[in-house]
Amino acid sequence: MPSRPSAAIAEFSVSDREAGPYGITAGPDGALWFTMVHHGRIGRITTGGDVSVHQVEPATGGPSIITAGPDGALWFTEFRGHRIGRITTAGDITSFPLPTPDAGPFGIAAGADGALWFTEAGADRIGRITPGGQVTEFPIPLSGAFPSAIAAGPDDRLWFTMNQANAIGAVGHDGDVTVHPLPTPAAAPVGITAGADGALWFVEIGAGQIGRITPDGKIDEFALSDRASRPHAIVADGGGNCWFTEWGANRIGRITPDGRIEEHDLPSPASEPHGIALGPDGAIWTALEIGAVARLTAP
């Protein structure tokens, strides 16, 4: 059974419930940046809780995942607008349409090559965009895979989940893709992050498990106590652990490199935690769809 140690959790209101705070990341300016998927906005919150908001046009693009880029700006996907967005720390926004119609970009991460890599959930492709806006797309060898989250691995490849193909993929800078099927049927992986142990850690929203895959493809899976908890996003901390959201159980979990799990209940009921990030203050921050951002300080 997972442990339930005490942790200090603070919640900050950042929007109304309809805005849908979703993805979150640490910015180069010492603040946290997050998306509001339903209202088409990008928010910024300082570690002290001060909030500012920037509108994306049009507002219907569905900004989803956001990450810090190599150019000192923040980059985000527009799942419904089929664009990649860029916002400076001053709030200036640029959008880059994708060449493939209805691509459905979702996950995004900075690669070791100085570009941003993203998934195209609606097109079974992995995309690459330079800071100047040049886009290249690479097909994955599966149909209907719904590539979702993506993270830079220790081997310079980009690792991504395939939610509907029940697999983890890795793509090289040349576009070559390797596929690793998961042992658990219908695991439906979503979030993925590079751990301090040289492996990639991911969540299985359909199976209630945390997965670990090494660069050579060895997979381990760790079951949560509540298999219906719907783990959604995951991030590594500075101490070798990984933290994840349990969207269906209103909790934040932590898993150690050896697979030990602890969980923390969020203060507001049914707050629907989605994205998760390690803040510049060493705390864990998560976006709550009820219109808030939570900060967890571990004991």
Length reported for the chain: 299
State the pLDDT confidence band at 1, using cuts at 50, 70 and 90. Answer: very low
Query: What average pLDDT does the structure give for the chain?
Result: 96
9-193+266-297 belongs to which homologous superfamily?
YVTN repeat-like/Quinoprotein amine dehydrogenase (2.130.10.10)
Q: What is the pLDDT of residue 4?
A: 59
Nearest to 223 by CA among 183, 250, 193, 196: 183
Q: Name the least confident of 27-36, 57-66, 290-299.
A: 290-299
CB 203 within 8 A of CB 191: yes
Cα–Cα distance, 146 to 195 (Å, whole number)? 23
- Within 10 A of 138 (CB to CB), how many other CB atoms are there? 18
Cα–Cα distance, 296 to 299 (Å, whole number)? 9
Compute the average pLDDT of residues 180-200: 97
Q: What is the pLDDT of residue 2?
A: 52
Cα–Cα distance, 184 to 188 (Å, whole number)? 9
Cα–Cα distance, 255 to 226 (Å, whole number)? 15
Compute the average pLDDT of residues 283-296: 97
Amino acid at 67: T
State the pLDDT confidence band at 211, using cuts at 50, 70 and 90. Answer: very high
Q: What is the pLDDT of residue 298?
A: 79
- SS3 category, 36: strand
Cα–Cα distance, 290 to 117 (Å, whole number)? 29
Amino acid at 10: A
Q: What phi and psi values does residue 296 have, to the nearest 5 degrees?
A: -110, 125
Nearest to 172 by CA among 131, 130, 213, 111: 111
Task: Give me the residue spans of the domains in the chain.
Answer: 9-193+266-297
Unique residue bearing structure tokens 């810090």:
68
259-272 confidence digits (pLDDT tens): 999 999 999 999 99
Cα–Cα distance, 230 to 190 (Å, whole number)? 10
Active site residue 274: yes
pTM of the model: 0.96
